[in-house]
A = this chain, B = another copy of it.
Amino acid sequence: MQPRRIKHWGWGYEDEPDTPQFLIDNMESYFSKFFGVSEFNTIAVPALESIALRKPRIDIPERFKDFCTNTHEERVRHARGRSPIDYVKIFNGEYENPPDVVAYVRNEQDIIDVMDWAVGAKAAVIPFGGGTSVNGGVEPRVGDGYEAVITVDTTQLNKVLEVDDTSRCARIQAGALGPDLEAQLKPHGVSLRHFPQSFQHSTLGGWISTRSGGHFATQYTHIDEFVESMRVVTPSGTVATRRMPGDGAGPDPDRLFMGAEGSLGIITEAWVQVQGRSKFRKSIAVFFDDFLTGAEAVRGIAQAGLYPSNLRIIDAEEARVNFVSDKNKDILFLAFESADHPVDAWMDRALEICADHGGQFDRAVMDNPESHRQEEQGRWRDIFMETSYYREITTPREIIYGTMETSVTWDRFPEMYERVTDITGRAMKEATGREGSLSCRFVYVYPDGCAPYWSWYCLGNHGALIDQWKHVKKAAIDEMIRLGGSTTHHTSVGRDHMPWLNAQTDDLFRNMLRAAKRTVDPSWMLNPGVIIPPGT
């Protein structure tokens, strides 16, 4: 199975390069209606052939030519992720850090061989799955300490190797893209049910490396919870962890590699828990007049031990910008699902909690089995996976589209909501001289807190978009960190978030990670600059 490839300058497949027209219409209409902007200073994306790259700095030895390449196209495709900075530079045709070689590894031995080669060549090694990092995790921005960069593309490792129906688990190669692994699981009647927004173009290994967030809004939120064991190739050897449902023997090795974002090794496969296909489902949209009141209902449900699959509240502005609703209400998308039993009792109690907090809903919609595809629910469902197209629409039009997400305990959320809203609004004005818009939603919810996600839009200026974006982003995340939040809940750290990761962790813990890294990567070649800062 050769996966279809993402187009080099945005989202979607290279054989369907057009941006969905309705998304362009939506975005232009929103800016016309709310900012009075009807014409955009739109630039075109440079053709792939026209992009200037520095020459490869190393040659591919004969024995690697079966799976390594340095064609212009492959180097362009592996030179950038999908961060706001990447998009600006893609549209400007700036590719200052292309890899010198792309290795399409076919097995663990290829990875071992490439790592050996890289040591001798003083090259950095960048693990690359789907390449959808939104925080500079895959761009070979490694500084001057390396004589070359070899990007290891894992997408040939794309097989479901084994399914254990009894334990409801599967052994899957790390380079399998979301749709590919689901297609292979389907004949077994199971699903990983891990659907990050990047699902179409991201891989299992990328999800585990970055502690991705998936389908379930509560309880089983991170991919972490589904991993039983993994294999990780490092320059010093391969670590294979033991497949166990609930170990308690010493520190968990899986948890050291999860979140290392390729800085400690390249994951080649994992045993993961899979889910039965859900047969019973209830879903509904609940409307609130005030976001913080809605958030209290969400907290009530999260603390009730009901574990809905969906418990995502979006504020009125989020509904507006995504053309989900013009009711000017905050909307809680609430759903329960089960492969085993009807979920009525669960939903009934959750709706009682909503009603206690002034939530407004029409129970009758639940009688319609297609309700999750209709009205606000349907429109949110339709748009959710499509928002990955937004940056290829906004960037050429000089629109800055920024996002921030974090996790925070409930006691601190109201202050954070107020402060981030205030600071982001002011920062957009400072950076661009113009008002912007800001919206918030919850992506994941826990008994002890939530993972809020902010999106903001404002008109910037070509040539200054990165600085303008950085100004706003820094102001907002500085405040999030100051108020006790996390650098990221589920969208990775990458190179762009390193200052905040350093702010949220102790020196001493970072020194422990450095020592662990030196053990497996003594040449410090693996994704340098990401997660583990070079030390003294």
A: which residues have CB within 8 A of B? 164, 166-169, 210-213, 219, 221-222, 228, 234, 236-253, 255-261, 273, 276, 299, 303-307, 338-341, 344-346, 349, 407-411, 444, 446-451, 484-493, 497, 500-501, 504-509, 511-516, 518-520, 531
Contact = CB atoms under 8 A, between A and B. Distances in A.
B490 A250 contact: no
A245 B217 CA distance: 13
B259 A250 contact: yes
Contact of A410 (B167, B339, B344): B167
B243 A484 contact: yes
Given A345-B345, A488-B249, A244 B515 contact: no
Query: Which among A250, A344, A508 has the highest number of chain B CB atoms within 10 Å?
Result: A250
Given A236-B508, A243-B409, A250-B501, A273 B169 contact: no
Contacts of A273: 447-448
A410 to B, nearest CB: 4
A234 B407 CA distance: 28
B409 A505 contact: no
Contacts of A344: 345
Contacts of A507: 237
- Counting every copy of the chain, the complex holds 2
B448 A213 contact: no
Nearest to A303: B168
Contact of A407 (B245, B261, B307, B447): B245
B487 A249 contact: yes
B246 A251 contact: no
B340 A305 contact: yes
Nearest to A299: B166
A169 B448 contact: yes
A307 B304 contact: no
Nearest to A222: B248
A513 B251 contact: yes
Given A349-B340, A448-B168, A512 B256 contact: yes
A509 B241 CA distance: 9
B518 A250 contact: no
Contacts of A486: 242, 244, 247-249
A260 B253 CA distance: 12
Contact of A449 (B245, B444, B500, B520): B245
B168 A239 contact: no
Contact of A304 (B243, B341, B451): B341
